[in-house]
Structure 1
Amino acid sequence: MIRALIVDDEQMAREEMQALLEATGEFDLLMPCANGFDAIKAINEQRPDVVFLDIEMPVINGFQVLSMVDEERMPHVVFVTAYDEFALKAFEEKTLDYLLKPVEPERLTLTLSKLKSMLHSGQTPHYDTPDLKRIPCSTGRRVKLVDVDKVECVFTDLSGVHLRTADSTLCTDLTLKVLEQRTPLVRCHKQYLVNLSSVDEVQLHDGGTATVLTRSGHDVPVSRRYLRQLKECLSF
């Protein structure tokens, strides 16, 4: 069975796609998602084989979801859209396929054939994704989008990944690896990234480690492994 995740902000569209996929007898359907933020979390935690992903969604659209998922966890992606003008864009992003709403069973059969071929060959998906300009963070039942240039540092602990700005600390479902690869944030420690434009002072310690002090007073550790790289980035 193919583990599939449906992502669409419209309940009727989710239900229609679920009925189509169930009718094929080929899919093990995960709990569907109504927005891109929940989709990122579901992909990271449940590792679906394929995501049937709506493009036009509020806050985080389908293209942005792709840019927020670690390549190692990236499933195959089938865009589902009611808008023809997005079809070419879907192929430019090198997704597996796209389906136009309302989805016809015959067209879904072609997508399923292509998907099974890709899974059988063991070919892993790779998509050309843009750099991130904003990072989604959960604040209770809301999603706050934080501009990357407002982030002073990012760190991970047992409770998850956290962003620190000048006046707050927020949680995100994006991984450190994604943030390192798709933002200007620089790795300075196994568990930390730092925004170079927020660095106010670097305190060097014996043993080849250091501490960065940000403009708003946050302490960020620098391990011996990353100190040389940080010095080069700061030109000292």
Structure 2
Amino acid sequence: MTILKTIIVDDEPLALKLLAAKLKKVPNVEVIAQCSNGREAINAVIELAPDLLFLDIQMPGLSGLDVVKQLQNDTMPLIVFATAYEQYALEAFDAYAVDYVLKPIDDERIQRAVDRALERFAIKSDEQSENKREVIGAIAHIDQKHDKTVTWMADESTHQDPQSVDIKNRKIVIKDRDEIHLLKQQDIQWIDAAGDYVCVHALGETHVKRCTLKEMLVELDETQFKRVHRSTIVNLDFIDKVIPHTKGEFFLMMGEYDKIKVSRNYKDVVKTFLTN
């Protein structure tokens, strides 16, 4: 029998206790951690590598959607949102095959979510390892519902002439809900891919940009930004610590909170960085 290692996240202690009690009745689930906020959830996912994450959306600080944005695509578990969210968001989750349970949570809905997770977990393919793609697509769809006006966050035009702007000084243009951000490359810490989207982490915020990782690499200074996983790029200037992991892998500490996994295929990037 397949057992899904599961982490549950909710900022309300009673809701967390109730969800744990209901999941205890499900034979295919083993709850390995309970988290009361988004930061705890991110750390637990990195350390424990769960198969499934029951994640409350509305939490102070980092919301459930923020947690997804800050998890690496290649290390993100299957997601089930626990929510009392607006109908348009639920429609987005349905459209992108993102599972959710409505609050107040009932046993039947939990069992259905676990059954779906088991079906997806059994699929051994690249599709299975890209759990972030569907969720980011739904988040982008939700954000589009909020778009009303466009606020320019800088005086420069978004139409940058590649011949007249040095690549190091070329800004990254991101339309994020009702704003357009022009990000300086030196402010970007790391970038993670999720299908046709990338999550750009800069100045303590995460922006979702519609483009592939390959397209993103063309815009960046290749001497400063290096690929450390098939879906992850880091800015070398933000690496504070390198932590050896199992089987030749590494973790990179990027600032106070972000911990990025380096796969074996890209370990030479870290070795070169350390020896220069």
TM score, norm. by length of structure 1: 0.60
User: Is 1:155 matched up with 2:239?
Assistant: yes
Hey, what's the Cα distance between the residues in 2 that align with 1:97 and 1:106? 14
Q: Which runs of 4+ in 1 moved over 6 A?
A: none
Secondary structure in 2 aligned to 1:106?
helix
Hey, what's the Cα distance between the residues in 2 that align with 1:118 and 1:112? 10
Q: CA 1:174–1:221 in 2, change beyond 3 Å: closer, same or farther?
A: closer
User: Is 1:90 matched up with 2:93?
Assistant: yes
Q: CA 1:176–1:113 in 2, change beyond 3 Å: closer, same or farther?
A: closer
Hey, what's the Cα distance between the residues in 1 that align with 2:56 and 2:258? 20
Hey, what's the Cα distance between the residues in 2 that align with 1:158 and 1:222? 13
Q: CA 1:161–1:107 in 2, change beyond 3 Å: closer, same or farther?
A: same
User: Is 1:175 matched up with 2:255?
Assistant: no
Mapping of 1:47-126 within 5 angstroms?
47-85=49-87, 86-91=89-94, 94=96, 96-122=98-124, 123-124=128-129, 125-126=131-132
Q: Looking at CA atoms only, which structure, 1 or 2, has the larger radius of gyration?
A: 1
Secondary structure in 2 aligned to 1:57?
coil
1:190 Cα deviation after fit: 3.4
Q: What is the aligned partner in structure 1 of residue 269 from structure 2?
A: 190
Aligned residues: 166
Q: CA 1:102–1:153 in 2, change beyond 3 Å: closer, same or farther?
A: same
Q: What is the aligned partner in structure 2 of residue 145 from structure 1?
A: none
Q: CA 1:9–1:134 in 2, change beyond 3 Å: closer, same or farther?
A: farther
**CA offsets 1:111-158 (integer angstroms, 9 cap, x no match):** 12211111122333242364335438xxxxxxxxxxxxxx99311424
Q: What is the aligned partner in structure 1 of residue 172 from structure 2?
A: none
- Conserved in 1, the CA contact under 8 Å of 2:6 and 2:33? no
- Conserved in 2, the CA contact under 8 Å of 1:161 and 1:176? yes
The one of 27, 30, 36 aligned to 2:38: 36
- Conserved in 1, the CA contact under 8 Å of 2:8 and 2:54? yes
Coordinate RMSD, CA, aligned: 3.0
- Conserved in 2, the CA contact under 8 Å of 1:55 and 1:80? yes
Unaligned 5+ runs, structure 2: 137-193, 206-234, 244-250, 263-267
1:222 Cα deviation after fit: 9.8
1:51 Cα deviation after fit: 0.2
Secondary structure in 2 aligned to 1:23?
coil
Secondary structure in 2 aligned to 1:60?
coil
Secondary structure in 2 aligned to 1:110?
helix
TM score, norm. by length of structure 2: 0.52
Secondary structure in 1 aligned to 2:66?
helix
